Amino acid sequence: MGMSFFTRTLILKWQNMFNLLFAHNFGRQLARFGGLFRKTRELLERQVELRRMARGKSN
């Protein structure tokens, strides 16, 4: 915890600046990635469901 108050304040200010500069663009990228992730997850869940149904029929 050897961080001085000044350093901590400086880091917080830098983080705020970074957030302001990059939040918009990053948010857009994140939304796009989130959409991809959601689609992938839905596909995986559907595959699992199909497998489960197939297993149920075979037994």
Domains of the chain, by residue range, sit at 7-59
Angle at the Cα of 24 (from 20 to 28), degrees rounded to 5? 155
Pick out the chain residues at pLDDT < 50.
none
Query: Nearest Cα to 12, choosing from 3, 25, 1?
Result: 3
> What pLDDT score does 18 carry?
83
> What pLDDT score does 49 carry?
95
